[in-house]
Amino acid sequence: MILRKLAQAVRKQSWSTVILEVLIVVVGIFFGLQVDAWNQNLKDRTAEAVYLERLRADTASNIVEVKDRAQTYYDRADSLKRIVEMLETRNAEEIGAADLAYTFCYWYVPEAVRLQTATYDEMTATGGLELIRSEDVRHKLQLALAENNRANDEIPKLASVQVISPGT
């Protein structure tokens, strides 16, 4: 319909009508693009809020995991301390076999900290990391994941554990 009016205006050489019609089309396209940009920005802010909430939940879970690992090492240190004290006071007969086995078999076995990285992994795979407006937050997320990967690579892997009985 607009093209028909525009063609009629050009045939009649009504240039003011032609200019007005073109201006209406250009303004309409401009507003359409602005509404689309506003809508995309709204979607991006919603996605950012969802990602940040999921990252918060992952972080809370990671704090629990780290505290659990720390408690494991504190328990191992206490067990080793008790055994050393018993050996120093010549009360070796009070040392239980299970306590001794636990202390010496597991003391040197490092436990990996299994951090939740699913949200971060999804964000990097889908480009969602760019939705986080704060450059500082994005940078810190990248540093934290790099540090986690480095720490996991440094944990020695025990290929096998062999129990050797005395006399063999």
In a domain, 17, yes or no: yes
Residue 144 belongs to what domain range?
Answer: 2-154
CA distance 145 to 136: 14
For the chain, how many structural domains are there in total? 1
In a domain, 18, yes or no: yes
In a domain, 51, yes or no: yes
**pLDDT by residue, tens only, the chain of 168 residues:** 667 766 776 677 777 777 888 888 899 999 999 999 999 999 999 999 999 999 999 999 999 998 998 888 888 888 888 878 877 887 767 777 777 777 777 666 667 778 888 998 899 889 888 899 999 998 988 888 888 778 767 665 543 343 343 444
Q: What is the pTM of this model?
A: 0.63
In a domain, 159, yes or no: no
163 φ, ψ (degrees, to nearest 5): -95, 125
Predicted local distance difference test score (pLDDT) of residue 61: 93
In a domain, 93, yes or no: yes
Residue pair 145/61 in contact by the 8 Å Cβ criterion: no
In a domain, 131, yes or no: yes
C-alpha triplet 112, 113, 118: angle, nearest 5°: 120
In a domain, 167, yes or no: no
In a domain, 21, yes or no: yes
Predicted local distance difference test score (pLDDT) of residue 76: 81
